[in-house]
Chain A
Amino acid sequence: MSKNSNVPARSKVLSRRETRTAYLFLLPALVFFIGFVIIPMVLCLITSFFNYTMGDFSFIGIENYVKMFQDDIFLVALKNTILIVVVAVPTVTAFSLWVGASIYNMHAISRSFFRCIFYLPVVTGSVAVSVVWKWMFNKYNGLFNNVLTGMGVIDQKISWLGDERFALWCIIVILFTTSIGQPIVLYVAALGNVDPSQTEAAEVDGATKFQTFWKIKWPAIMPTTLYILIITTINSFQCYALIQLLTSGGPNHSTETIMYYIYYQAFKLNNYGYGNAMGIFLAIIIAIFSAIQLRVGKSDN
Chain B
Amino acid sequence: MNSGIKTKKTYDVIVMIIMIILAILFAFPLYWIITGSFKDAAAINAAVPEWFPHNPIKDNYVRLMAKPAFKWLFNAVFISVTSMALTCITASMAGYALAKKRFAGQKTLFTLLICAMALPKQVVLVPLLKEMSFLGLHDTMWAVILPTVGWPFGIFLLKQFSEGIPTEMLEAVRIDGAGEIQTFTTMVLPMVKPGIGALAIFTFISTWNDYFLQLIMLNSSDVLTISLGIAKLQAEMSNDFGLIMAGASLGAIPIVAIFLMFQKYFTQGITMGAVKG
Contact = CB atoms under 8 A, between A and B. Distances in A.
- Chain A–chain B contact at Cβ < 8 A: yes
Interface of A: 15, 18-19, 21-23, 25-26, 28-30, 32-41, 43-44, 47, 99, 102-103, 108, 112-129, 131-133, 135, 140-141, 143, 146, 177, 182, 185-186, 188-190, 192-194, 220-224, 226-227, 230-231, 234, 237-238, 240-241, 259, 262-263, 266, 272, 275-276, 278-280, 282-284, 286-287, 290-291, 294, 297-298, 301
A22 B101 contact: yes
Nearest to A33: B150
Interface string B112-127: 1111111111111111
B40 interface: no
A18 B198 contact: no
Given A18-B101, A120-B29, A131 B245 contact: yes
A36 B149 contact: yes
A44 B263 contact: no
Interface residues of B, number: 101
A185 B230 contact: no
Contact of B116 (A21, A33, A132, A231): A33
B94 A122 contact: no
Contact of B122 (A124, A133, A189, A259): A259
Nearest to A270: B126
Contact of B120 (A43, A113, A283): A283
Contacts of A193: 269-271
B271 A224 contact: yes
Contacts of B150: 32-37
Given A18-B101, A19-B104, A125-B251, A40 B47 contact: no
Contacts, number: 282
A102 B120 contact: no
Given A102-B15, A297-B275, A120 B270 contact: no
Given A32-B146, A43-B130, A112-B263, A140 B248 contact: no
B272 A124 contact: no
Given A29-B155, A141-B47, A223 B101 contact: no
A266 B122 contact: yes
B102 interface: yes
Given A21-B101, A127-B227, A132-B29, A44 B47 contact: no
Contacts of A119: 259
Nearest to A273: B126
B30 A123 contact: yes
Given A185-B266, A220-B271, A290 B118 contact: yes
A287 B26 contact: no
A121 B255 CA distance: 12
Contacts of A226: 275
B43 interface: no
B46 to A, nearest CB: 8
B180 interface: yes
Contacts of B45: 141
Contacts of B131: 36, 39-40, 43
A132 B239 CA distance: 12
Nearest to A288: B118
Interface stretch (B57-65, B66-74, B165-173, B204-212): B204-212
A275 B147 CA distance: 20
A223 B271 CA distance: 9
A298 to B, nearest CB: 7
Contacts of A188: 266
Contacts of B255: 123
B259 A116 contact: yes
Contact of B231 (A102, A127, A234, A275): A127
Interface of B: 15, 19, 22-23, 25-30, 32-33, 45-49, 86, 89-91, 93-94, 96-98, 101-104, 106, 109, 112-128, 130-131, 146-147, 149-153, 155-157, 160, 163-164, 180, 184, 194, 198, 201-202, 205, 208-209, 211-212, 227, 230-231, 234, 241, 244-245, 247-248, 251-252, 255-256, 259-260, 263, 266-267, 269-276
Given A21-B101, A298-B274, A298-B276, 7 more contacts: A47-B126, A131-B245, A141-B45, A185-B263, A220-B271, A224-B271, A286-B119
Contacts of A262: 120, 122-123
A175 to B, nearest CB: 14
Contact of B157 (A19, A40, A143, A227): A227
Contact of B119 (A29, A41, A143): A41
A230 B98 CA distance: 18
Contacts of B93: 25-26, 28-29
Contact of B103 (A23, A33, A230): A23
Contact of B26 (A40, A121, A227, A266): A121
B152 A259 contact: no
A40 B124 CA distance: 6
20 contacts: A15-B102, A36-B128, A37-B150, A99-B19, A114-B23, A115-B263, A123-B30, A123-B259, A125-B211, A126-B209, A131-B244, A177-B29, A226-B275, A227-B156, A230-B114, A230-B117, A259-B122, A262-B123, A280-B119, A290-B114
B152 A124 contact: no
